[in-house]
Amino acid sequence: MRYALLYNPIAGRGRAATAAAEAIALLESAGHQVREGRSKRAGHIAEMSAALAEDVDRLLALGGDGSLREAAAGLLASGEAGRVALGVLPLGTGNVVAREAGLPLDPVAAARGLDRAEEWRIDVGWARAEGGSEEELFLAMAGFGYDAAVAERVDRARSVAGSFGARWYRHSADTLYGCIAASEMVRPRPARFAVEIDGVEASPSAAALVASNVCTYGKGMEMVPGAAADDGVLGYQLRERGAPWATAASLVAAQLRLTPPRWAARTGEARCVTVRTQGGPSFPWQLDGDPMGRAASVELRLEPGALTLLRANGSGGPDAR
C-alpha cells in the first residue's frame, strides 16, 4: 500500500520528527511504500496533501486536530477523497478526532494498528464567515462565544516564544486551559449573538454555542452526547445564560458525558446553522480547537459522507474504548 505521512517537524515539542521516523520504519518493514512530507509553514500540510493525493492510497497526518484538518482540506481539494483514506497519528493536545476514531493516543502505537484499521465514511463540516473568500473545513466542532474565547486566549498566551504563557503551556497545557476557562467563566459581559438552526431562530441572544460533528469534546468530555460523525447532522449545545453556574453546569455534564440540564443549555440537531451579531461587538469562534478570530456572521453546513477516515478496527467511537 502507498502512504504519505505529513507532519510539522517541530510539533509535539520536537517529538514529531522522531515519531515520524519510527512510524515510517514500521510501515516500510510491513512492505508499504511511504512518502514523507515535512511542513515548512502554515497551510503547507494542506498543499502537500493536495499534491500527493493522486499518488497514494492513504494519507496520514501526524499531529493534532489542526494538522488533520489541513490534511483533510487538501485531500478534498484534490478530488481524490473518494479513493484515498485519511488517517491520524495523534500528537496534539486534545486529539479529538483520534479519540472519536478509537485510536491509541501514541502516534507510533496508532501506526502499528494501521494494517488492521477500518475505513469509516464521515461527514465534513464547512464554515464561512461574512466577507470570507472561502469556506473553512472542520471535522470535530465549531464553537462560538465561551469556548472560542478560551481557545483564543490560550493561543495568545502560548504564541509568544519564551513567555510565561508559552512555558506554562509546554509544562502543563491542561492547567493553562483550566485557569483560562475559569477566568473566562466570570467575564462580566461576554459577546452575544443570535442563532438560527435550519432557518429558524433558536436564540436572539446566546452566550455560547458548540456545533459538533462528533461525540467527543476535549479530553474525555462530551458536549453533545450521541452526536456522530456519520449521521448526516450536526449536534449542538446552545447556552443563553452567561452566568458562571450555567457554564459550570454544562461543563460538568460534559465531563460526566451527560446531557446538560435544560436550565443551563439546550441540545439538538441541525443541518445548517447561522450565527450573527445583533448590532453588538463581533464574537470569537473556533474550528476544531483552532481560534478563527472574530466575526459578525458565520454560516455552517454539513457535507454528509464526504471523507473516509481510518479508525481502530471494531471501534464504534468513544464508547467502545
Contact criterion met (CB below 8 Å) for 282 and 104 = no
The pLDDT, as a whole number, for residue 316 is 58
Return the half-sphere exposure (C-beta side, CA atoms, 13 A cut-off) of residue 18: 6
Same domain, 74 and 160: no
Same domain, 102 and 233: no
Same domain, 32 and 93: yes
Q: Among residues 92, 116, 140, which one ends one of the domains?
A: 116
Helical spans, DSSP H, in 159-301: 164-185, 244-255
Q: Is residue 46, in this structure, part of any structural domain at all?
A: yes
**What CATH number has the domain bearing residue 54?**
3.40.50.10330
The pLDDT, as a whole number, for residue 13 is 73
Q: Is residue 309, in this structure, part of any structural domain at all?
A: no
Phi, psi angles (nearest 5°) of residue 123: -80, 155
Instruction: Specify the number of domains making up the chain.
Output: 2
The pLDDT, as a whole number, for residue 162 is 79
| Cα torsion angle, 216, 134, 146, 176, sign | positive
Return the half-sphere exposure (C-beta side, CA atoms, 13 A cut-off) of residue 190: 29
Closest listed residue to residue 57, CA positions, set 24, 26, 88, 80? 80
Would you tell me how many other CB atoms lie within 10 Å of the CB of residue 252? 14
Q: HEC profile for 96-125?
A: HHHHHCCCCCCHHHHHHCHHHCEEEEEEEE
Pull the grid cell for residue 241: 445564560
Q: Is residue 314, in this structure, part of any structural domain at all?
A: no
Q: Is residue 313, in this structure, part of any structural domain at all?
A: no
Q: Is residue 245, in this structure, part of any structural domain at all?
A: yes
Q: Among residues 116, 145, 170, which one ends one of the domains?
A: 116
Q: Among residues 64, 93, 116, which one ends one of the domains?
A: 116
Interatomic CA distance for residues 5 and 23, integer angstroms? 9
Same domain, 230 and 274: yes
Interatomic CA distance for residues 94 and 99, integer angstroms? 9
Same domain, 82 and 172: no
Same domain, 164 and 96: no
What tens-digit pLDDT sequence spans the chain (321 residues)? 999 999 998 887 778 999 999 999 999 999 999 999 999 998 999 999 999 999 999 999 999 999 999 999 999 999 999 999 999 999 988 899 999 999 999 999 999 999 999 999 999 999 999 877 789 999 999 999 999 999 999 999 988 877 888 889 888 888 999 999 999 998 878 889 999 999 999 999 999 999 999 999 987 799 999 999 999 999 999 999 989 999 999 999 999 999 999 999 999 999 999 999 987 789 999 999 999 999 999 999 999 999 999 999 876 555 444
Same domain, 176 and 253: yes
Same domain, 138 and 82: no
Instruction: Give residue 199's identity as a one-letter amino acid code.
Output: G
Same domain, 38 and 160: no
Same domain, 165 and 105: no
Same domain, 247 and 294: yes
**What CATH number has the domain bearing residue 297?**
2.60.200.40
Same domain, 160 and 275: yes
Tell me the CA end-to-end span of the chain in Å, nearest whole number. Answer: 28
Q: Is residue 224, in this structure, part of any structural domain at all?
A: yes
CA angle 280, 283, 289 (to 5 degrees): 175
Instruction: Give me the domain span that covers residue 134.
Output: 127-304
Category of 226 on φ-ψ map: left (φ > 0), alpha (ψ -120 to 50) or beta: left
